């Protein structure tokens, strides 16, 4: 199996409805392809980790890179893995409303600190999540 992690920036006009649309496509398509992972959206930044069969993940990433709802896409890490790290999750998080933001940030930072960082993609994913969440 294979895992990759990237960061990108939402276009200015990006709306909550766009995120709903991405999550619903991702949930059905990723499940069909046996791709799992986690998407974080905060302060206009996306950080996503994808894992699955190498060809499928690369093909999906090519599609995602061509998606005009975001830009400045940078690949942060890629590596092979023995088993999926997020087997239960297609998409785990999205931008919380203002009230829950502090709680959300706290939970994510704790998770970042406690999580397994045994692969390059996991390391860059959690480091980037931390940066994005603390950034604003």
Ligand X SMILES: Cc1cc2nc3c(=O)[nH]c(=O)nc-3n(C[C@H](O)[C@H](O)[C@H](O)COP(=O)(O)O)c2cc1C
Interacting residues toward ligand X by CB under 6 A? 8, 22, 25-26, 29-30, 39, 46, 48, 60, 63-64, 67, 69-70
Minimum CB distance to ligand X, residue 114 (Å): 24
- Report the C-alpha gap between 46 and 132 in whole angstroms: 8
Minimum CB distance to ligand X, residue 81 (Å): 17
C-beta of 23 vs 109, nearer to ligand X = 23
Burial of 124 (0-12, 13-18, 19+ CB in 10 A): buried
- Report the C-alpha gap between 136 and 132 in whole angstroms: 7
Which H/E stretch holds residue 96? none
C-beta of 10 vs 108, nearer to ligand X = 10
Minimum CB distance to ligand X, residue 76 (Å): 14
C-beta of 36 vs 102, nearer to ligand X = 36
Residue 116 tokens read as 């397994």
């Amino acid at each position: 199996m294979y895992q990759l992690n990237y960061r990108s920036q939402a276009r200015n006009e990006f709306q909550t409805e766009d995120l709903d649309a991405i999550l619903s496509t991702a949930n059905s398509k990723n499940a069909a392809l046996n791709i799992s992972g986690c998407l974080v959206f905060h302060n206009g930044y996306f950080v996503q980790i994808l894992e699955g069969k190498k060809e499928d993940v690369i093909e999906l990433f090519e599609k995602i890179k061509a998606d005009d709802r975001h830009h400045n896409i940078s690949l942060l890490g890629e590596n092979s893995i023995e088993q999926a790290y997020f087997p239960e999750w297609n998409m785990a998080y999205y931008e919380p409303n203002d009230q829950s933001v502090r709680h959300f940030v706290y939970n994510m930072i704790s998770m970042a600190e406690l999580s397994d960082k045994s692969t390059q993609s996991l390391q860059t994913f959690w480091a980037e999540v931390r940066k994005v969440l603390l950034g604003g």
